[in-house]
């Protein structure tokens, strides 16, 4: 059993009485693209800043290759970092900015020159070497920041919402670049974002943060298909939440009833019988049929339907007057119209029961 | 009727711009007049007297630059101003930095202390330093009491006294503009420098100082120029052996009634000051400050 590349163990950070993060623990493999996803104030940036060395944890440990990072000063950690705002040195040219980490390490001039050339080629900015940061767009500045952060071949690259200040088109362009750079360099990346789409697009694995704790860690698919909590289900992708009362717990499955008394089954963790819960089903995993084809069908009324080209979007109303969203292929929606009564169905493994 | 037609022929936009321009000049007239009467006329009068009294010619300037004594006064003036500027910089930069990074509550307090001293009467502050620095003053007694020295130091009526007194007075004039420059620097720029591997010293030398240079230069120039013409503090805390230009001018006018020579001295000082200002504009005004993007 080899030791994991980066280990975050039992991190806790409090400011006065406020707990910023608690029990944050995570192992990261070498070469992995790991994203911290969560709303603002969920502790994802605090965790990143502790790894970077800008903040000290109240408790816990951070180990890189089995050695503690916490007693190492930020400038000795040899970690690369890209910040949310453009933090290029405004008085230095692009080339001098990329050369900066090599200069402070007193590398020979010939090596610096070759490395700057190589890094600027990596981010496709070779022609911009003599520009000043103020003369470049935000996206270009962030690419220079990435080149600067990778210039000294750090084993770990930290990115704190690096694309948050850019517009959508530019963001997607740089996300694509980032994937390519990650593949070309093989650097381990810790990436912080509040944008779930960005997290899904970039990451090997995602750690979902909520209220200072990690809710769930997994690949995008794992988080989407098997969310472990209502928070994760709501944060990643679109979901319908239906109120249920749990009647019976089996092996990883729960039997519950809807407010209208109808029975339903779904995946569930440990649950006390008789407790209130929520059943989550994704909009695209639901089907609307004119007539019931299975036992697990809910009588609904179609309230609205929207043609979206590749799919159709429906709004349906349950007997207890809750509105649900459903997405279906266009041809499956034929024969339905606004106001018609229908039956809503889904496979029981797509239903998840949460507290 | 014909006038109405011709005015239609003039493009409307141009007419508007012209009238706005003339109106602007009209609005500025009172200020221009004020500057003319209270600043330009006295300076020109002084210049005139320096070349007309006692007889027309440049003999005042010849005397000023030819005499050992007067050249010595010039040298003293520049040396004291230089030393004061240097020490003000050494004390002022950390102060301005502290003001920029302290939590608001503490920086407000520090600001208040700085401004309060600035608003206190200059003469009172200078006499206070005399009391503190004299042979039996607080500074000497504390140093004697701690056993740092055996003999009281001579801290007034010499270069030390002038430097201490002037540095204290000049500090706000450096700290205030420098603080504005430092506050405009994004703190994450310095974090980035640290992550890049720069030690504290390297961050200071390679990032903070270059970014602060415009503030340092304008603050230092302000202090230097003000020190060149300073009178009260050198007169009270400095001895006769370190006479500065302002003291010389005062003596020439008050005791010797030699307006010609005094005018020449004042004019030389003015030319030097304007020269320094031109240098600053040349190298820092249009220079590559890199702050354009902000």
Gap from B260 CA to chain A (nearest CA, Å): 49
Residue A134: which of B189, B199, B292 has the nearest Cβ?
Answer: B292
> Tell me: the pLDDT tens digits for B164-193?
999 999 999 999 889 999 988 888 898 899
| Tens digits of residue pLDDT in A153-212 | 999 999 999 998 888 888 888 899 899 999 999 999 999 999 999 999 999 999 999 999
Question: Are residues A214 and A124 located together in one domain of the fold?
Answer: yes
Q: Does the model's ipTM exceed the 0.95 cut?
A: no
pLDDT at A294: 66
Q: Tell me the average pLDDT of chain B.
A: 84
Domain for residue A281, yes or no?
yes
Are A78 and A218 found together in one domain?
Answer: yes
Which of A9-13, A59-63, B113-117 is predicted with the least confidence, judged by mean pLDDT?
B113-117
Asked if the structure places residue A172 within a domain, the reply is yes
Residue A1 lies in a domain: no
Mean pLDDT of chain A, nearest integer? 90
Is residue B194 within 8 angstroms of chain A, CB to CB? yes
**H/E run at residue A280:** strand A276-281
Ramachandran assignment for A85, one of left (phi > 0), alpha (psi -120 to 50 degrees), beta (any other) = beta
**A167 with A312, same domain?**
no
Q: Model confidence at A265, in pLDDT bands (50, 70, 90)?
A: confident
Q: Measure CB to CB from residue B293 to each of A90, A92, A152 and give the nearest one.
A: A90
Beta-carbon contacts of residue A282 (< 8 Å; ≥ 6 apart): A224, A237, A238, A239, A240, A350
Mutate to test the interface with A, among B103, B196, B292 (most CBs of A within 10 A): B196
pLDDT at B1 over 80: no
> Which residue has better confidence, A294 or B59?
B59
DSSP letter for B57, please: S
Quick one: A202 and A344 in the same domain? no
Taking the CA of residue A19 and the nearest CA in chain B, the distance in Å comes to: 21
β-pairing verdict for A341-345 and A352-354: unpaired
Average pLDDT over residues A1-11: 84
Distances (CA, A) of B83 to B90, B198, B231: 11, 31, 16
Would B9 be classed as within a structural domain?
A: no
Closest to A87 (Cβ–Cβ): which among B189, B199, B289?
Answer: B189
| Distance of residue A220 Cα from the nearest chain B Cα, in angstroms | 30
| Domains identified in chain B, total number | 1
Is pLDDT of A246 > 50? yes
Is-contact B215 B178, C-beta < 8 A? yes
Q: What is the pLDDT of residue A216?
A: 94
Last residue of a domain, one of A204, A231, A258: A231
CATH number of the domain at A173, please.
Answer: 3.40.50.300
For the segment A266-294, the average pLDDT, to the nearest whole number, is: 83
CATH code, domain with B74: 1.10.3720.10
Q: Is the CB of residue A301 less than 8 Å from the CB of residue A290?
A: no
pLDDT value of position B236: 85
Examine the domain organization and report whether A224 and A287 are in the same domain.
no
Whole-Å CA distances, B175 to A5, A22, A224: 48, 42, 56
Per-residue pLDDT of B110-141, as tens digits, reads 889 888 888 888 888 888 888 898 888 898 89
How far is it, in rounded angstroms, from Cα A67 to Cα A15?
26
Question: Band of the pLDDT at A269, cuts 50, 70, 90?
Answer: confident
Cβ-in-10-Å burial (0-12, 13-18, 19+) of A242 comes to buried
d(CA A230, CA B142): 70
Residue from A84, A100, A133 whose CB has the most chain B CBs within 10 Å, to mutate? A100
User: Which chain B residue's Cα is nearest to A84?
Assistant: B188
In chain A, residues with a C-beta closer than 8 Å to the C-beta of B212 are none
The answer to whether residue A30 scores a pLDDT higher than 50 is: yes
Q: Does B189 touch chain A (CB under 8 A)?
A: yes
- In three-state secondary structure terms, B146 is helix
Res. B292: pLDDT tops 60: no
How far is it, in rounded angstroms, from Cα A159 to Cα A72? 20
CB–CB contact A81 B192 (8 Å)? yes
* pLDDT at site B20: 66
Say yes or no: A225 and A242 in one domain: no
In a shared domain, residues A14 and A162: yes
Name the residue among A75, A133, A134 with its Cβ closest to that of B197: A75
Residue B289 and residue A91: Cβ atoms within 8 Å? yes
What sign for the dihedral angle of Cα A198, A203, A206, A210? negative
Mutation to test the B interface, candidates A87, A162, A165, most B Cβ within 10 Å: A87
Q: Do A155 and A56 have their domain in common? A: yes
Give mean pLDDT, residues A111-132.
93
CA distance A130 to chain B (A): 13
**Residue A345's CATH number:** 2.40.50.140
Q: How many domains does one find in chain A?
A: 2
Find which of B186, B197, B211 to mutate to test the A interface (most A CBs within 10 Å of its CB). B197
B188 touches chain A (CB under 8 A): yes
Q: Which of A300, A302, A299 is CA-nearest to residue A338?
A: A302
| Lowest model confidence (mean pLDDT) among A302-306, A315-319, B167-171, B279-283 | B279-283
Residues of chain B found within 8 Å of residue A103, distances taken between Cβ atoms:
206
- How does pLDDT run across B88-112, given as a tens digit for each residue? 999 999 999 999 888 889 989 988 9
Record the pTM. Answer: 0.77
Query: Does some domain include residue A181?
Result: yes
Q: Name the residue with higher pLDDT: A343 or B284.
A: A343
Q: For A210-241, how does the pLDDT look when each residue is reduced to its tens digit (9 = 90+)?
A: 999 999 999 999 999 889 889 999 999 889 99
The shortest C-alpha distance from A65 to chain B (Å) reads 19
- Residue B148's CB is within 10 A of a number of other CB atoms, namely 9
What integer pLDDT is reported at residue B235 of this predicted model? 85
Rounded Cα distance, B140 and B144, in Å: 6
Of A85, A90, A101, the CB nearest to B290: A90
Q: Is residue B16 very low, low, confident or very high in pLDDT (cuts 50, 70, 90)?
A: low
- Residues of A (37-76) whose Cβ lies below 8 Å from B: 52-54, 74-76
Distance in angstroms (rounded) separating the CA atoms of residues A132 and B293: 9
Cα separation of A87 and A84, whole Å? 8
Shared domain check, A165 and A24: yes
- Given a cut of 70, whether residue B205 has pLDDT beyond it is yes
A15 touches chain B (CB under 8 A): no
Q: What is the pLDDT of residue B290?
A: 39
Which is nearest to B178 in space by CA: B144, B221, B115, B131?
A: B221
More confident residue, B293 or A49: A49
Domain endpoint, select from A173, A196, A231 = A231
Residues on chain A touching B193 (C-beta within 8 angstroms) = 89, 100
3-class DSSP state for residue A138?
A: helix
What is the predicted pLDDT for the residue at B13?
53
* CB proximity B196 to A under 8 Å: yes
Residue after which a domain boundary falls, among A206, A231, A256: A231
Contacts of A133 in chain B (CB under 8 A): 290, 293
> Which residue does chain A place closest to B203, by CA atoms?
A104
Structural domain of B224: 68-284
Domain hosting A102: range is 6-231
Confidence of residue B294 (pLDDT cuts 50, 70, 90): very low
As a whole number of angstroms, the distance between CA A351 and CA A268 comes to 9
CA torsion through residues A99, A102, A107, A111, sign: negative
- Let me know if residue A204 belongs to a domain: yes
List of chain A residues whose C-beta atoms are within 8 Å of the C-beta of residue B216: none
pLDDT the model gives residue A309: 87
Helix (H) / strand (E) element for A81: namely strand A80-82
Chain A closest CA to B290's CA: distance in Å? 5
B20 within domain boundaries? no
Rounded to a whole number of angstroms, the distance from the CA of A30 to the nearest CA of chain B is 20
**Chain B partners within 8 Å of A75 (Cβ):** 194-199
Mean pLDDT of A283-301: 82
Chain B residues within 8 A of A85 when measuring between CB atoms: 186, 188
pLDDT recorded at residue B231 = 87
Is B17 among the domain residues? no
Q: How far is B288 from chain A (nearest CA, A)?
A: 8
Domain presence at residue B33: no
Please give the pLDDT value at position B286.
44
């Amino acid at each position: 059993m080899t030791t994991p590349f980066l280990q975050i163990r039992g991190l806790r950070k409090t400011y006065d009485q406020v707990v910023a993060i608690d029990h944050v623990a995570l192992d990261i493999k070498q070469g992995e693209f790991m994203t911290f996803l969560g709303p603002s104030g969920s502790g994802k940036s605090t965790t990143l800043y502790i790894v970077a060395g800008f903040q000290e944890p109240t408790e816990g440990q951070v180990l890189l290759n089995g050695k503690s990072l916490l007693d190492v000063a930020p400038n000795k950690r040899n970690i690369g970092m890209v910040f949310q705002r453009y933090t290029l040195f405004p008085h230095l040219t692009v080339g001098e900015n990329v050369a900066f980490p090599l200069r402070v390490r007193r590398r020979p001039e010939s090596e610096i020159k070759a490395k700057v050339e190589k890094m600027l080629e990596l981010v496709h900015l070779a022609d911009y070497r003599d520009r000043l940061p103020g003369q470049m767009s935000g996206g270009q500045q962030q690419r220079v920041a990435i080149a600067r952060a990778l210039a000294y071949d750090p084993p770990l690259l930290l990115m704190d919402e690096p694309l948050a200040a850019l517009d959508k088109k530019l963001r997607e362009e740089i996300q694509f670049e980032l994937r390519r750079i990650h593949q070309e360099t093989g650097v381990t990346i810790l990436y912080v974002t509040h944008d779930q789409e960005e997290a899904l697009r970039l990451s090997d694995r995602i750690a979902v943060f909520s209220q200072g704790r990690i809710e769930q860690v997994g690949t995008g698919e794992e988080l989407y298909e098997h969310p472990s909590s209502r928070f994760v289900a709501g944060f990643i992708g679109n979901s319908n939440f239906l109120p249920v009362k749990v009647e019976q717990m089996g092996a990883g499955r729960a039997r519950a009833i809807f407010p209208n008394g109808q029975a339903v089954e779904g995946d569930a963790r440990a649950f006390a019988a008789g407790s209130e819960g929520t059943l989550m089903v994704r909009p695209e995993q639901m089907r609307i049929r004119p007539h019931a084809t299975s036992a697990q069908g809910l009588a609904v009324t179609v309230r609205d339907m929207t043609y979206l080209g590749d799919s159709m979007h429906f709004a349906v109303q349950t007997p207890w007057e809750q509105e649900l969203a459903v997405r279906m292929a266009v041809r499956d929606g034929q024969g339905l119209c606004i106001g018609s009564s229908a039956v809503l169905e889904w496979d029981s493994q797509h239903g998840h029961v949460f507290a | 009727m014909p006038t109405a037609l011709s005015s239609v022929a003039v493009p409307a936009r141009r007419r508007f711009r012209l009238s706005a321009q003339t109106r602007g000049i009209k609005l500025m007239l009172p200020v221009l007049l004020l500057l003319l009467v209270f600043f330009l006329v006295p300076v020109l009068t002084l210049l005139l007297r320096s070349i007309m009294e006692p007889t027309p010619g440049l003999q005042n300037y010849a005397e000023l630059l030819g005499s050992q004594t007067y050249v010595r006064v010039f040298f003293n003036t520049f040396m004291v101003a230089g030393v004061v500027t240097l020490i003000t910089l050494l004390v002022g930069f950390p102060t301005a930095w502290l003001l920029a990074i302290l939590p608001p509550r503490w920086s407000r307090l520090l600001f208040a202390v700085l401004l309060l001293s600035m608003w206190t009467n200059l003469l009172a502050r200078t006499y206070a330093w005399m009391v503190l620095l004299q042979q039996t003053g607080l500074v000497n007694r504390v140093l004697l009491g701690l056993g740092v020295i055996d003999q009281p130091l001579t801290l007034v009526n010499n270069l030390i006294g002038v430097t201490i007194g002037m540095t204290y007075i000049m500090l706000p004039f450096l700290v205030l503009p420098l603080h504005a420059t430092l506050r405009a620097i994004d703190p994450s720029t310095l974090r980035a420098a640290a992550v890049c591997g720069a030690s504290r010293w390297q961050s200071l030398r390679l990032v903070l100082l270059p970014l602060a240079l415009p503030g340092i230069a304008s603050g230092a120039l302000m202090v230097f120029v003000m020190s060149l013409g300073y009178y009260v503090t050198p007169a009270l805390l400095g001895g006769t052996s370190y006479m500065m230009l302002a003291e010389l001018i005062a003596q020439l006018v008050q005791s010797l009634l030699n307006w010609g020579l005094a005018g020449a001295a004042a004019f030389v000082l003015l030319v030097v000051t304007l020269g320094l200002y031109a240098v600053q504009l040349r190298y820092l005004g249009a220079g590559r400050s890199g702050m354009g993007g902000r």
